[in-house]
Amino acid sequence: MLYHLFELLENNYDLPGAGLFRFISFRSGAAIILSLIISVLIGDKIISSLKRLQIGETVRDLGLDGQKVKEGTPTMGGLIIILSIVIPCLLLARLDNIYIILMLITTLWLGLIGGADDYIKVFKKDKGGLKGKTKVIGQIGLGVIVAVVMLKHSDIVLRVPLDYAQKHNLEITEQFTVDVPRINDVLSAQKMAYVKTTLTNVPFLKQNNWDYKYLLFFLGDNAGSLVYIVFVPILVFIITAISNGANLTDGVDGLLAGVSAIIAVVLAIFAYVSSNTIIADYLNIYYIPHSEELVIFSACFLGACVGFLWYNSFPAKVFMGDTGSLAIGGIIAVMAILLRKELLLPLLCGIFLIENLSVVLQVGYFKYSRKKYGEGRRIFLMSPLHHHYQKKGIHEAKIVTRFWIIAIILALLTILTLKVR
């Protein structure tokens, strides 16, 4: 909104300083500050309102120290995160940008699903919350929307060499010539093209291009036109897995918000390098036109997560609930997909992965051992994994800090994949 306003003022009235809003660095910095301010300012008001409405968490007795202290702590605090993302984004991002539109849809879509789940748990006194089938249908719906828009929208394209596009029969939307640096910084003209494609970057490989249509190799020349057969289900799986992984990670004070803030920094870096033609060429990753606005959204996301920690760090004054955790997971998944970095999610979101795996292994082994030995046995003292360490007597603040450290290491390794081939 402000971007468009100051663009108008600069073009028509030559207002001094209005040109600042053209710079991603300025708007992203402003987005972080504004998100932090909004989350801190509205946090107390939202928490007070939730207490007044008696939207408190009914803590299931897990036999953990400090649980009774948390009884009655307001939930649905994810409203703070969502508002702290959406408001700065509406003010500072370009609202005609398809990437921003998709991210806002993702945030609100999964926020509503999570909010409905929290509402049923709290007001309807139904501990099961929203039916799992309904929740999955909602996540599938979002995955389908993202996949279809990526396949059809004219602004979602990649830049590749023209000869590569012709060799692989890619759908070319525009051809042009650019000067690229060669030996001794001598510029050389190269023919390039913008293409509609399901190409993505593959980490660790020198020729790091991979297309989802390769999964349909048995269809020959028809693979490209039928790629949606595999593209849509894979995107649905990624979004569902990451959003549910984030949901499982949200179990102790400050854990998910802190880990997500670290991930937000990496996504901002990916968005910046993918939208800069020189850096993208140097790193041998795809240049993605118009994706620079995702830097702004990442900044809003970062500010919202850090701001939420003001109230959610131990001892928490509010829990984010599914309202926040599902939205956070969806934001991370969809942004990685849009930046063609979804294959890095197992590394970047390693905390979500191990939390998910701990539950799967625990449940699977319990069922297997009950069938084989006549009694259910466990691998962990409790799952998800953070509860295992709580059961071992480690204070949750220490668990959270150690998980943050692991998340930082994973984030650095993820960034290093840009150069490691």
Note the pLDDT tens digit of each residue in 374-413: 888 999 999 999 999 999 999 999 999 999 999 999 999 9
Q: Which residues, 6+ apart, have CB-to-CB distance to 12 below 8 Å?
A: none
Residue 62: what pLDDT? 60
Write down which residue in 222, 244, 273 finishes a domain.
222
Q: Which domain-ending residue is among 188, 205, 222?
A: 222
Give the whole-angstrom CA distance, residue 223 versus residue 226: 5
Task: Give the DSSP H/E element, type plus range, for residue 34.
Answer: helix 24-52
Q: 403 and 312 share a domain?
A: yes
166 in the same domain as 152: no
293: in domain: yes
pLDDT over 90 (residue 185): no
* Structural domain includes residue 421: no
Whether residues 294 and 363 fall in one domain: yes
* pLDDT band at 196; cut points 50, 70, 90: very high
Helix axes 228-249, 321-338, angle to 10 degrees: 140
Instruction: Judge contact between 329 and 356, C-beta under 8 A.
Output: no
End position of a domain, from candidates 169, 201, 222: 222
Q: Note whether residue 91 is domain-resident.
A: yes
Do 89 and 188 have their domain in common? no
Kindly state the tokens that stand for 308.
């939420």
Average pLDDT (123-146) is 87
**pTM of the prediction?**
0.93
- When pLDDT is averaged across residues 132-158 and rounded to a whole number, the result is 94
For residue 134, is pLDDT > 80?
Answer: yes
Radius of gyration of the chain (CA): 23
Is there a single domain that holds both residue 145 and residue 13?
A: yes
In a 13 Å sphere around the CA of 282, the CA atoms on its Cβ side amount to 7
Per the document, the length of the chain is 421
Phi, psi of 368 (to 5 degrees): -65, -45
What per-residue confidence (pLDDT) applies to 224?
87
- Provide the 10 A C-beta neighbour count for residue 409: 12
User: E strands, 116-259, where?
Assistant: 158-161, 171-181, 187-196, 199-201, 209-211
Range with lowest mean pLDDT among 75-89, 202-216, 252-266: 202-216
Q: Are residues 235 and 170 in the same domain?
A: no
Q: What pLDDT shows up at residue 143?
A: 95
- Residue whose structure tokens are 């992984």: 245
pLDDT digits (tens, 9 = 90+) for 221-243: 888 889 999 999 999 999 999 99
Is 33 inside any structural domain? yes
d(CA 231, CA 65): 45
Of the candidates 315, 278, 333, 260, which has an alpha carbon nearest to the alpha carbon of residue 106?
333
1 vs 300, residue with greater confidence: 300
Q: How confident is the model at residue 102 (pLDDT cuts 50, 70, 90)?
A: very high
Number of domains in the chain: 2
pLDDT tens-digit profile of 46-90?
999 888 876 666 555 566 655 555 667 888 899 999 999 999 999
Mean pLDDT of 139-157: 95
The answer to whether residue 169 sits within a structural domain is: yes
Looking at the structure, do residues 259 and 402 belong to the same domain, yes or no?
A: yes
Q: Rounded CA gap, 230 and 333, in Å?
A: 17
pLDDT at 356 over 60: yes
Confidence of residue 254 (pLDDT cuts 50, 70, 90): very high
pLDDT confidence bin for 184, thresholds 50/70/90: low
- Return the DSSP state at 23: -
Q: Are residues 6 and 20 in the same domain?
A: yes
Percentage with pLDDT > 90 across the chain: 68
Range of the domain at 122: 2-157+227-416
Q: Are residues 256 and 307 in the same domain?
A: yes
Mark whether 340 and 234 lie in a shared domain. yes
Phi, psi of 356 (to 5 degrees): -65, -50
Are both 407 and 270 inside the same structural domain? yes
pLDDT score recorded for residue 8: 72
Question: Is residue 137 located within the same domain as residue 173?
Answer: no
**Higher pLDDT, residue 195 or 15:** 195
